[in-house]
Structures are given as structure tokens and as C-alpha cells.
Amino acid sequence: LRQAEIKKTKTVCTYCGVGCSFEMWTRDRHLLRVQPTIDAPANGISTCVKGRFAWDFINSKERLTRPLIREAGPDGARFREASWDEALNLVARRLVEIRDTHGPDSIGFIGSSKASNEEAYLTQKIARLIIGTNSVDNSSRYCQNPATKGLFRTVGYGGDAGSIKDIESADLVVLVGSNIGENHPVIASKVKRAHKLRGQKLLVIDPRKHEMAERADIYLRNRPSSDLALVCALTRYILDHGLADEKFLAEKVNNVDAYRESLAPFTLEMAENLSGVPQDQLIEAAQMIGRAGSVCLLWAMGITQHSQGADTSTALSNLLLVTGNYGRPGTGGYPMRGHNNVQGASDFGCLKNIYPGYEYVDQPAVREKWAKAWGVPPEALSDHFGLDNFEMVAEAGKGKLKAMYVIGEETAVSDSNAASTQHGFENIDFLVVQDIFLSRTAQFADVVLPACPSTEKDGTFTNTERRIQRFHQVMPPLGDSRPDWQILSELAARMGHDWGYTHPSQIMDEVAGIADLFAGVSYERLEGWKSLQWPVAEDGTDTPLLYTDGFQFPDGKARLHPVQWQAPAEDADSEYDLMLDNGRMLEHFQSTNQSGRDGGTKPMSPDWFVEIGPQLAAERGLEDGSWVRVVSRRGALELRVVVTDRVAGNTVFMPIHHVKPNMNRLTGEHHDPVVNTPAYKETAVRIEKL
């Protein structure tokens, strides 16, 4: 091909929170090449296998290209194609009817963590301004909400403390319940390089011996659900043995004495009993943390998807405060964001308690500001928190939530206890799903609206390091599909709010004019490979490293927040004697709606399995390839065994991508009571040989 025939467009990967940007080289709808560049701020010349090869879904024959409306036929309910006018008029009419009959809080919205920041903003704008409810959420409920809570409690912002560059430059990287080798591969490659070439130390705490654990200087293999006790015991040891940063604590942190006292129960002996990690290894780890010049601590679903996810996240941030590891280059807490724009979906208001920029809906001055900006009286906006994902599905099951609008999320598959979630969707009066495929969630819908992937529209995403980046339209929408922001704008117009947006840049300008956190964000400042890390001042100054001038509390001081250990909501017993760990695989993404289509990375990893440790396998007479039934209190799945020392003891592991049948038939409704995140990792199972 002659160069002139090749179109080169900058875009941002949609597969994880690293936020790799690169050029897509295309001819018509054919993707010829993914070309990273040294100018890409998060990744430079690196990408992983998904970013490079997992794009066949864009031209999949299974893409939705026309709106669909459910209708009852002689052979049961089925979908028929409809025009955009008919579908949007129906959605507008039904939402208004339900709002006027049952009240604003009878409708819930789930925004997409894969859609753009601008689309997240419009999702919550329709919910809050037109419907009058704060019942809007996104998939961070299933992953990062506990981590955000831990950071809000202790340091004031919920985002990563610094940048990927800080992780690279730290003296010590601590990974707790985070398998970055498969889930955030480009960050993993930077840590591997720093470890090998610069002598950066690596400490891994995880029940599963993944690739990064194999590389660690110290690897603590703890029992599932013991993290809070282990982390608090390390913190107590550091305080008791002169390894804390007392000057930092005295000058920059509140509640130090009460926190010291709260650690009394967390002896090394207690931590050893609960975690199974010998005391000498705990001491070695505590000394490594206490003596390091700079520490970055990364955590993910291995911590958050527990009934103590928020408290364990709090304990991790406490540990960083005690050792003075905030506000300097190479330090800080880094909850690794899973979806590419789960950070942005939350930042731009798809949460039940905040407007964009983390402004609380129950504060009168905040409500007044947003009402004025949107041209309505403050009374038009709800003054109380709405429902989150977890509560919406539960209320739908009880018949109290009458309608839901789900954008780009596989809630029917991703929520825990799939049978209960399915009941919620079957029970709801009116369900709208906006997606690029007829997902399992869409199959419950009354109206399905065909949306576009990021390659077919303009917008911005925000990655795990709070970095806002522009992505550009690579190719036109497929068939009659439309960008989510256009669909939402057209729906709003049909409900009496003609906002007149003709480009997403106008939406970003509107947000920047209202939310202080994004005051200086504009498309001009994001041109080319430029990016901005929030908070962004009006003059465009951004913030790669937080807390250099104090913490995000009125007195500028951080707050140590005591926590207590509690037993997991579900534990192994004589009937269900094993604990099921679960997580993502390098080649796949979540429910595989994108990575599971033909082509792409699917052939690299075409099937699912259960990992069993060698000793357990020998005791049960199992070997590689044996078929077993994995049974929990809620359901059962049949699959093949992989015998590996990645797992040990009574822990077994399954990829989360097992959706036919759904892995969440096994998981339960128990959750973290602080943030309602399902405790996916607290699932007791037994294994039956087939």
C-alpha cells in the first residue's frame, strides 16, 4: 500500500486503565496496524497483546447496526428492527410516564466505564436534570469503589496519588492483590525493567503466585481474606520498631495517637495465624517497607472484591502515611483501574452521591451551583443519594425500581449471584440497553440502541493516573449505529431538553465551566499527544503528583483511619471446603463481548479452566485436563483442571471470563457494607470429579 492510502489516527486503548495511546493505521474499515509512539504519555512505545491485536470486534458481523424493540410473537418475545425515531420516541415516552407515575427514583441509570468522559457526563445529566434522580452508577461499584473509599478517608482524593512515572521511579513497589502482569501489562513491563536495570525492589502479597510474584524480592503468599490483618500487623511493627516517618506524622497527619492504639490487636502472631505467613517473613517485609526511600503501593480486585475491601484499602493508605510515602516523587497509593475509563465514568458523575468533579449531591451550595448551570431551580435536582448498581438490581427484583437504562455494561453477567441479577432484570417494567452487541444484558431489554465503539467517535478517556487523553474517530459508525453522546443528546431533546451539542468538545467545555476539578480542560489543550492529569487549574496547570502541598482536607493534613479485622462473609467449611479466587487473563477482557469474538486474541486463549495446586490435585486424584464440577451454594460449573503451583492449599482459581455458563452463578450476594461492592473473592466451593 502507498502511504497516501493509509489513514493514521491517534486513539486510546479501551482494554485497561493503563490508557495506552497509539496510532491506528487504517484503509477504509480495515485496521492495518497499531503503531505506538514515544510521544504517548502513559505507555511510550509499549502496548500489550490486547492493545495490539484485539480489535476484530470492530467489524464483527455480530455488531448491532439498527435499533431493536422487543415484541411478543406467537413463539414468544423477540426483537424487531426499528427506526431511530420510533425507538427513541418510545424510550422518551416510557421514561417520562414511569417518572410521572412512580417518581424519579423509580428509574436507574448505569453508565459505561468504556464510554467517554463526555458520555458519562450526559448519562448523569439525563438522570439528574431530566429524570430528577441520583440513581446513577458505573462498573467501579464492582471493582474500585472500596479503594476510592479508602483514599477518600485518609488522603482526600480517590484517584491514584501520582503517575506511572512515579511507579517506575520508586525504590520499592508493593503489589497487594494485584496481578499487573496480566491486568495492566504495560505498567508491569515498566516495573520489570526498573527491577532489572535499576535495582528497584518488588514486594508481592497475594494468595496466587502470578508472574510478578515469581519475580519478587519478597513474596508473601497469604491466605485469602487475611490482607487487612497482615497489612495492619506490618504497620504496627513499623511503628513499634522506629521505622515510621515520625516527622511526617507529626507535621502532616491527624489522629496518630488513636490510630497507634487501634493497632494493638494486630500482632505478628495474629497476622501469622490468619494469613499463614511466618512471622520472620512478615518482619522482613515490614523492614523492607520501612527502610525504603520511596514506596509505591499498588492494589486491585484481590483487595477490593472482599467484604472488607474498603477497610483493607484504608489500611493500605494508612501504611503509606505511617511511612511518609505520599506527596514525593516515587511514592503513593495506586489502586489499579480495570476498565479503560472507570476513572472517568466516576470523575464525570456516574455515581449515586456526586456531581462531576466529586461534588456531593446532598450539599445545598453544590446543588445550587449545578441547578444554575443547567438553568433549573435547585428544587428540581434531587437532594438525596440515589441507588447504586447493587441496590438497583435488588430493588428491581422487589418490583420497586421500574425502569433501568444500561449503557455498555454487562450487568446481567458481571454482577455477583447471577440468578438473582437475572430475576431483577426479568422483573423490571422497562429496560433500555445501549451497546455495540446484543449482550446478555441486552437480551432482557425492551429497547436496544446500537452504539459505536471508541474507534467510531471522538472523545476523551481518563486512565488510572488521572490522565485525560483525546481519542479521535478512526472510521465512520458501522451501519446505523451512533455514538453514545449523540444517542443521549437526541433522547434528551425528545424529553424537552434540546442541548444542541454538535461535538463532544462542547460537552467538555460545559463541564470545565462548572466543575472546579476540570476548570482548565479543553480539547485545544489535549491536541495531538498532549494530556492533562486532574485537578486542572483554569490556566491549564495539571497535577501529575498529588499532595505535594498538603492533603485534600480543610486543614491540609491527612487522616489515619482505624480499621478492625472481620472474618470473611463466606468461608470454607466441611461442605464447601475450598475458596474460589478469580481474575482476568491477559488475552481477554471482562465478559469477552469484545475479546471473545472471532479473530483477535481469542485463539490465543480459547477456553476456560480451574487452577488447582499440585497437592490438592494429588489428594483428589486430578490431573491436567481432568473434568470437574465446581459447586458453590448458588450453582455449579463444569470445566477442565489445570494443575499449577500458582495456587496452593485450599484455594482454586478461575478466570472471570467464564460466561457460558456464567461464573457468577457461583458467587453470592454478600458484599462490602461500606460501598456495596460484591465480595466475589469470598466464595466457598467444592470440587466433584467427573
Please tell me whether residue 298 binds ligand SF4 under the rule CB under 6 A: no
> Residue 44 or 635: which CB sits closer to ligand SF4?
44
Please tell me whether residue 18 binds ligand SF4 under the rule CB under 6 A: yes
Q: Are residues 123 and 136 in contact, defined by beta-carbon separation less than 8 angstroms?
A: yes
Nearest to 112 by CA among 451, 412, 408: 408
Smallest separation, CB 18 to ligand SF4 (Å):
4
Please tell me whether residue 297 binds ligand SF4 under the rule CB under 6 A: no
> Residue 19 or 520: which CB sits closer to ligand SF4?
19
Smallest separation, CB 643 to ligand SF4 (Å):
29
User: Site residues for ligand SF4, window 214-273 (CB under 6 A)?
Assistant: none
661 prior amide bond cis, ω within 30:
yes
- φ/ψ (deg, to 5) at 24: -105, 125
> Residue 20 or 628: which CB sits closer to ligand SF4?
20
CA 432 to CA 439: how far, in whole Å? 12
User: Site residues for ligand SF4, window 390-429 (CB under 6 A)?
Assistant: none
Smallest separation, CB 370 to ligand SF4 (Å):
32
Smallest separation, CB 496 to ligand SF4 (Å):
39
483, three cell numbers: 455514538
CA 662 to CA 665: how far, in whole Å? 6
Smallest separation, CB 615 to ligand SF4 (Å):
34
612, three cell numbers: 488447582
In the Cβ-directed half-sphere of 220, how many Cα atoms lie within 13 Å? Answer: 33
Please tell me whether residue 495 binds ligand SF4 under the rule CB under 6 A: no
Smallest separation, CB 301 to ligand SF4 (Å):
15
> Residue 43 or 676: which CB sits closer to ligand SF4?
43
User: Site residues for ligand SF4, window 26-65 (CB under 6 A)?
Assistant: 43, 47-48, 50-51
The residue range among 10-18, 320-328, 374-382, 593-601 that interacts with ligand SF4, by the rule CB under 6 A, is 10-18
Interface with ligand SF4 (CB under 6 A), residue from 13, 216, 286, 569: 13
> Residue 186 or 238: which CB sits closer to ligand SF4?
186
Please tell me whether residue 172 binds ligand SF4 under the rule CB under 6 A: no
- The sign of the torsion formed by the CA atoms of 117, 122, 128, 129 equals positive
Q: Is 298 helix (H, G, I), strand (E, B) or coil?
A: strand
Smallest separation, CB 274 to ligand SF4 (Å):
34
Residues 6+ apart with CB under 8 A from 257: none
Please tell me whether residue 352 binds ligand SF4 under the rule CB under 6 A: no
| C-alpha separations of 237 from 219, 240, 244, 267, 639 in Å | 18, 5, 9, 8, 43
> Residue 153 or 584: which CB sits closer to ligand SF4?
584
Q: What is the dihedral of CA 463, 13, 471, 494, to 10 degrees?
A: -90
523, three cell numbers: 480539547
Q: Are residues 382 and 133 in contact, defined by beta-carbon separation less than 8 angstroms?
A: yes
Please tell me whether residue 20 binds ligand SF4 under the rule CB under 6 A: yes
Please tell me whether residue 185 binds ligand SF4 under the rule CB under 6 A: yes
Query: E strand or H helix at 492, and its extent?
Result: helix 484-494
- φ/ψ (deg, to 5) at 153: -65, -35
Please tell me whether residue 595 binds ligand SF4 under the rule CB under 6 A: no
Please tell me whether residue 15 binds ligand SF4 under the rule CB under 6 A: yes
SS3 breakdown of the chain: % helix, strand, coil, rounded to 5? 35, 20, 45
Please tell me whether residue 666 binds ligand SF4 under the rule CB under 6 A: no
User: Site residues for ligand SF4, window 105-164 (CB under 6 A)?
Assistant: none
CA 6 to CA 545: how far, in whole Å? 38
The residue range among 9-17, 240-248, 510-518, 631-639 that interacts with ligand SF4, by the rule CB under 6 A, is 9-17
CA 41 to CA 530: how far, in whole Å? 8
Q: Is 451 helix (H, G, I), strand (E, B) or coil?
A: strand
> Residue 424 or 600: which CB sits closer to ligand SF4?
600
Smallest separation, CB 212 to ligand SF4 (Å):
14
CA 169 to CA 166: how far, in whole Å? 5
- Secondary structure letter of residue 629 according to DSSP: E
> Residue 312 or 455: which CB sits closer to ligand SF4?
455
Q: Is residue 554 packed enough to be buried (19+ CB in 10 Å), middle (13-18) or exposed (0-12)?
A: exposed
Residue nearest to ligand SF4 (CB): 51
Smallest separation, CB 187 to ligand SF4 (Å):
7
Catalog residues that contact ligand SF4 under the rule CB under 6 A.
13, 15-16, 18-20, 43, 47-48, 50-51, 184-186
